[in-house]
Amino acid sequence: MELSTVPYIRWAKYEGLMGEHRLTASAVSPIDWSDIGLDPATLKLTEFSPYGPSEVFDRLQEDWGVDPSGVVLGASASHAHFCFGASLVKPGDVIIHEVPGYLPLVDALSMLRVKTVPFQRRFDESYRLDVEQLKKTVIENDAKLVLLTDLHNPSGVSLDKKTLLSIVEMCEVTGCHVLIDEMYRGFLDPDPGPACLLHPRIISVWGLNKIHGISQVRFGWGCATPELADRARRVFDSTTLHTSCLTDQVARAAMTHLDQLTQRGRRYAQEGWGIFSDWLQQQDLAVIPPDGGLICFPEVPQEIARDGDHFRELCMEQGLNVTPGRVFGASQHVRIGFGLEEAQLKPALDILAKVLNPS
C-alpha cells in the first residue's frame, strides 16, 4: 500500500498560507472569546469526561432529536469520520468516494488496506450526485461504504431532498453504509438537519470548524445509531484517550451561542457570494453556483492557463492565492473561497479579474 502524501493538507499548511491576498479559506474568520461568553482565564487544565461534554450531546439532541448514545465526539471532525469509517470496513473491502472531493478523509481510511474506488461528480452536470450510477457502482464493486460531502467540498453544491431519498433507497437495496461529511450543511438556511436521521446505515459528521468561527479548535462529531456509535467508540478508544479538555470547554461554551455563531457564519457566506456573483457577471468564468457556504469550484479557462496549478501561478505573480483543483482530484479547476470581509474580498477579485483578462 502506498502511503498518501495527503496533498490537500500539506498544501493548506504551507502554500495555502502564501500570498498577500487569499481566496483559499473555507471557514469563516475567527470569533473572539466574548462571542462565546468565555473568559480564557477560567479555563481549567484538569477537566475530564470520558467521551466529551454532556452539553454538546444535549444540544445535538435538542436541535435534531438525535439519541446521545448515537453520537461520538472526535478529536476533530476527521477523527470522528475515521472512527465511524474504520469501524465499518475490513482489509480488502471496497470504499467508494466522490471526486472531486475532500480526499484527506479517503487517505485516512486507505491506511486500512481497503480498496478505494472514485466516483465522479461532474462539472458539466452541475456536480449533481447521480445516485442511480452510484448504486450501480456500489453493486458492481460490492462496496461496503460510500463517502460523500454535503455541501460538496469543493463545489458547495448540496444534496437535495430527492437525492437524499435516493441514497436511502440505495442503502436499503445494497446494504452499504453511507458516511456523509456535513461540515458545511449549517450554511443552508434553514439547516435541513443531519442525513443520519433518514436511515440507520447513514452516518453524519459535522462540527464547529466551518461556520462557527472556531475553526482552529477543530471540534467535530459523528451521529448514527447507538450500535454504529458503539463500534466507532472502539476506534476512538484506540486512537486517543479522550477529547482535549481545553477543546471541551470551548465547545461547551459554544453550545450556548450556536444560533448567533451560525447567523454570523451565514452572513459571511451571503455577503461574500453577493459580492462575488456581482463580480462574476463581468467575467468569462464558468462557475456552478454553490447552494451555500464560502467556496465554488470553477473550471480554468484554457486560453488563460493549462490547468489549476498554472492558473494559481499566474495569480501568485500578482500576490493572489487560490487553491488548485488537483488537491481535490480535478486538476483543470481551482477552488475559490469568497467568504471574506468586503475590504479583503474586493481587492482580491480585482486581481483575479486581471488574471482572467490579460491585456
Residues that bind ligand PLP (CB under 6 A): 26, 76-78, 102, 149, 153, 181, 183, 207, 209, 218, 220
Q: 181 or 299: whose CB is closer to ligand PLP?
A: 181
Instruction: Decide whether 244 or 318 has the Cβ nearer to ligand PLP.
Output: 244
Q: Give the residue closest to ligand PLP by C-beta.
A: 78
- Burial of 314 by CB count in 10 Å (0-12 exposed, 13-18 middle, 19+ buried)? middle
Least separation, in Å, of the C-beta of 306 and ligand PLP? 26
Q: Which of 132, 184, 191, 112 is nearest to 155 (CA)?
A: 184
Nearer to ligand PLP, 324 or 351 (CB): 324
Q: How far is the CB of 253 from ligand PLP (least distance, A)?
A: 18
Q: Which is nearer to ligand PLP, 88 or 214 (CB)?
A: 214
CB of 183 to ligand PLP, least distance (A): 4
**Alpha-carbon distance 128 to 353, whole Å?**
28
Q: What is the DSSP letter of 299?
A: B
The grid coordinates listed for 9 are 493538507
Question: What's the Rg (C-alpha) of the chain?
Answer: 20
Nearest distance from C-beta of residue 314 to ligand PLP, angstroms: 25
Comparison of 86 and 355: residue with beta carbon closer to ligand PLP: 86
Q: Give one DSSP letter per residue of 201-226, joined into a string.
A: TEEEEEESSSSSS-GGG--EEEE--H
User: Before 151, cis peptide (omega within 30)?
Assistant: yes
C-alpha cell read off for 260? 448567533
DSSP state, residue 357: S
Report in angstroms how near the CB of residue 149 gets to ligand PLP at its nearest: 5
Measured from the CB atom, the residue of 207 and 279 that comes closer to ligand PLP is: 207
Contacts for 40-48: CB closer than 8 Å, 24+ residues apart? 43/246, 43/249, 44/245, 44/249, 45/245, 45/246, 46/245, 47/245, 47/248, 47/249, 48/242, 48/245
Q: How far is the CB of 181 from ligand PLP (least distance, A)?
A: 5
The nearer residue to ligand PLP, 24 or 78, going by C-beta atoms, is 78
Looking at the Cβ atoms of 184 and 279, the one nearer to ligand PLP is 184
The least distance separating ligand PLP from the CB of residue 182, rounded to whole angstroms, comes to 9
Q: What cell was used for 306? A: 493549462
Enter the C-alpha cell of residue 232. 466507532
Q: Which amino acid is at 30?
A: P
Cβ-based nearer residue to ligand PLP, 70 or 154: 154
> Could you tell me if 325 and 335 are in contact, meaning their C-beta atoms sit under 8 angstroms apart?
yes
* 310 vs 346: CA distance, rounded Å: 23
* Distance in Å, CB of 50 to ligand PLP, minimum: 20
Q: Which is nearer to ligand PLP, 78 or 249 (CB)?
A: 78
For the CB of residue 184, give the shortest distance to ligand PLP in the complex, in Å. 7
Least distance from ligand PLP to the Cβ atom of residue 26, Å = 5
Pairing of the two strands 94-99 and 320-321: unpaired
Q: Where are the alpha helices (DSSP H) in the chain?
A: 7-13, 54-64, 77-86, 104-110, 131-141, 161-174, 226-239, 245-255, 258-280, 308-316, 342-356
